């Protein structure tokens, strides 16, 4: 029976109650030949990665367009094949996992390389912007991340959100860069952090340039522009995978880091410096991490942990060499202590050094006085307050 709220309820049937009449089954309509045939183009096509490893490990993966089950192709050879720009020539380097298929995890990571597109050519859509403005913004975001003890993955997610968002916009003024940057970091912190800072804390570090309303409205705009695609594999996630595979031994939990924290923060410092250069967007994130790892190891190790060929990694390694030469003249980074951060997690917290000075040494022509991003401050670059300057209630 139907109750007053419109829900169907079951009640015991009285034996004296007559049986409800049984309806005759509806007759099927005679199928008539359809004049219009379903066009395959009207269907959204899907893709799968076909693993075609040969015994000698020399055959690359290919991304193959897969037909829908109801559309049986008469000639399967007519479907297009898509090859990775950077060829992975061996099977998954991830060891056997008790909680998932290592091949599935590896393929999903490779799929993200194709799904999340970044391209430095977006500056052509913004004639008022220059590469050095992006470098200043990212340097400031790294500094904010250290102030609030955010993870490296959070900072790199913010960088990815910002770069991909700029691909969807046109003619953005430099006065809005700080708002876009802090909004990207706000979104990334809610994705990655267990206890993300509150929105008023992000507004606070802009020193009055952006209020909470600005960040909220920009957040909605950015999420729509990114189509809610918020989980890319960043250079940091690729680097952590490479380092863990290299250090992994049999019988150990793959989720527990086995690599050296000291070596890891040296590689991350190189990545931090390189990512601030917009030319880093010429390379996929997996190749960027592999090239950085290659500067602290041998290519044989990089090949083992990534499956990448030397031909696909070499251009990035050569491009990264001047950055590495600059860091060699600096003191090695040291592990820092952060409040409420365990010692075995310190390497995952984003740190900041004088990256802009290092880029000037690298002759990137960073001109600070001409690149303020705040719509309020003039003649200076806004930086977050140090931990000792933050209000007691933060």
- CA–CA separation, 278 and 274 (whole Å): 8
267 touches 239 (CB < 8 A): yes
Which tokens hold the place of 18?
């007559």
Dist. CA 86–CA 60, nearest whole Å: 10
Q: Tokens representing 265? A: 């923060």
Q: How far is CA 97 from CA 103, 104, 252, 263, in A?
A: 10, 11, 10, 25
Compute CA 110 distance to the chain's CA centroid, rounded to the nearest angstrom: 12
Distance separating alpha carbons of residues 333 and 350, to the nearest angstrom: 12
CA dist., res. 243 & res. 33, Å (int):
61
Report the chain's C-alpha Rg in angstroms. Answer: 27
Chain-centroid distance of CA 67 in Å reads 29
pLDDT at 147: 95
Rounded CA-CA distance 123/95 in Å is: 41
Q: What count of Cα atoms within 13 Å lies in the side-chain half-sphere of residue 16? A: 0
Task: Starting at the earlier edge strand, list the strands of the sheet with 46-50.
Answer: 46-50, 62-66, 81-83
Enclosing H/E stretch for 50: strand 46-50
Please give the Cα distance from 72 to 70 (Å, whole number): 6
To which H or E segment does residue 62 belong?
Answer: strand 62-66
What is the Cα–Cα distance from 20 to 145, expressed in whole angstroms? Answer: 70
Rounded to whole angstroms, the Cα distance separating 209 from 128 reads 20
| Contact between residue 338 and residue 346 where contact means Cβ atoms under 8 Å apart | yes
DSSP structure string for 272-293: HHHHTSGGGGGS-HHHHHHHHH
Q: Token pair for residue 109?
A: 């990571």
pLDDT tens across the length of the chain (394 residues)? 444 444 444 444 444 545 545 445 444 444 444 444 444 444 444 445 454 444 444 444 444 444 443 434 444 444 334 444 444 445 788 888 878 888 898 999 999 988 999 999 999 999 999 999 999 999 999 999 999 999 999 999 999 999 999 999 999 999 999 999 999 999 999 999 999 999 999 999 999 899 999 999 999 999 999 999 999 999 999 999 999 999 887 666 777 888 899 999 999 999 999 999 999 999 999 999 999 999 999 999 999 999 999 999 999 999 999 999 999 989 999 999 998 899 989 999 999 999 999 988 876 444 444 433 333 333 334 445 444 444 444 3
- pLDDT, residue 312, reads 94
**223 class by beta-carbon count within 10 Å (0-12 exposed, 13-18 middle, 19+ buried):** middle
Going along the chain from its start, the domains and CATH numbers come out as 102-389 (1.10.472.10)
**Residue 88, beta-bridge partner list:** 308
Tracing tokens 């993966």 back to the chain, one arrives at 61
pLDDT at 364: 45
CB 145 within 8 A of CB 155: yes
């Amino acid at each position: 029976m139907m109750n007053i709220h419109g829900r169907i309820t079951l009640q015991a049937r009285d034996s004296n109650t007559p049986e409800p009449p049984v309806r005759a089954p509806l007759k099927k309509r005679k199928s008539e030949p359809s004049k219009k045939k379903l066009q395959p183009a009207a269907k959204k096509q899907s893709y799968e990665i076909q693993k075609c490893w040969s015994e000698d490990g020399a055959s690359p993966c290919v991304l193959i367009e897969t037909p829908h089950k109801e559309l049986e192709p008469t000639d399967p050879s007519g479907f297009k094949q898509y090859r990775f720009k950077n060829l992975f020539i061996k099977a998954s380097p991830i060891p056997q996992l008790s909680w998932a298929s290592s091949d599935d995890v590896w393929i999903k990571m490779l799929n993200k390389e194709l799904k999340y597109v970044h391209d430095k050519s977006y500056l052509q859509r913004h004639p008022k912007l220059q590469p050095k403005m992006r470098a200043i913004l990212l340097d400031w975001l790294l500094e904010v991340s250290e102030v609030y003890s955010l993870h490296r993955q959070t900072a790199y997610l913010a960088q990815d959100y910002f770069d991909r968002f700029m691909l969807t916009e046109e003619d953005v003024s430099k006065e809005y860069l700080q708002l876009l940057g802090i909004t990207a970091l706000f979104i990334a912190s809610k994705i990655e952090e267990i206890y993300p800072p509150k929105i008023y804390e992000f507004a606070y570090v802009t020193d009055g340039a952006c209020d909470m309303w600005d960040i909220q409205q920009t957040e909605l705009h950015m999420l729509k522009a990114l189509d809610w695609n918020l989980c890319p594999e960043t250079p940091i996630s690729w680097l952590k995978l490479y380092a863990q595979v290299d250090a992994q031994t049999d019988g150990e939990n793959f989720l527990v880091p086995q690599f050296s924290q000291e070596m890891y923060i040296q590689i991350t410092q190189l990545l931090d410096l390189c990512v601030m250069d917009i030319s880093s967007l010429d390379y996929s994130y997996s190749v960027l991490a592999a090239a950085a790892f290659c500067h602290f190891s041998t290519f044989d190790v990089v090949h083992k942990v990534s499956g990448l060929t030397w031909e696909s990694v070499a251009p990035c390694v050569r491009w990264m060499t001047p950055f590495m030469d600059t860091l060699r003249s600096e003191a090695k980074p040291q592990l820092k202590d952060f409040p409420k951060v365990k010692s075995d997690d310190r390497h995952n917290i984003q740190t900041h050094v004088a990256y802009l000075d290092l880029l000037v040494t690298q002759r990137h022509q960073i001109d600070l006085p001409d690149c303020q991003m705040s719509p309020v401050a003039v003649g200076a670059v806004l930086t977050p307050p140090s931990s000792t300057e933050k209000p007691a209630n933060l």
